[in-house]
Amino acid sequence: MGALNEPPRETEPHAPAGLDTSRLDYLVGYAASRAAIRLKATFAVHMAPLDLKIVEFSILMLVAQNARVNQKQLGHALGISPPNMAVTLDRMVERGWVERVRSTEDRRAQHIHLTAAGSELVDRAGAIAATMENHDLRVLSAAERALLIELLLKVAGVKRR
């Protein structure tokens, strides 16, 4: 492991396993996948003390930011099928992070709310997330980092507020 619990680094990031990747290097999807591999490893190392997976982190952050959010909205936002979202939320309920609350307007609907433990976890995970990518993204200026996020969201079809 590197300093500050960083994931291990490849010795030659431009030539994985010593292979010539020139037939892939021009593809945005390949470049995005390579970056995602590194950033997911960084996430795993930094969030390991919280025993938090990327999907759980994403759900917690969305629930914290969006009052009265429901399971369908969360699944749509994260590209998770209804059955998989139900299983993930069940696990998060069991861990005491979220709860399902019946809507007062429509008794058929349920909203997802953070518990006190979930709110505390959001604060702790948010503090870690604020800086965890800094090492991997140190090669980018602040403007380049903002542009990268903007472009990736644009390709993903996500409109920013």
For the chain (161 residues), the mean pLDDT of every run of 10, in chain order, is 48 67 95 96 98 98 96 96 97 98 86 98 98 96 97 90 72
Task: Return the pLDDT at 14.
Answer: 54
How many residues are present in the chain? 161
Helix (H) or strand (E) holding 112: strand 110-114
Separation CA 67–CA 21 (nearest Å)? 45
pTM: 0.85
- Which CATH class, in words, describes the domain spanning 3-156? mainly alpha
* Domain definitions of the chain by residue range: 3-156
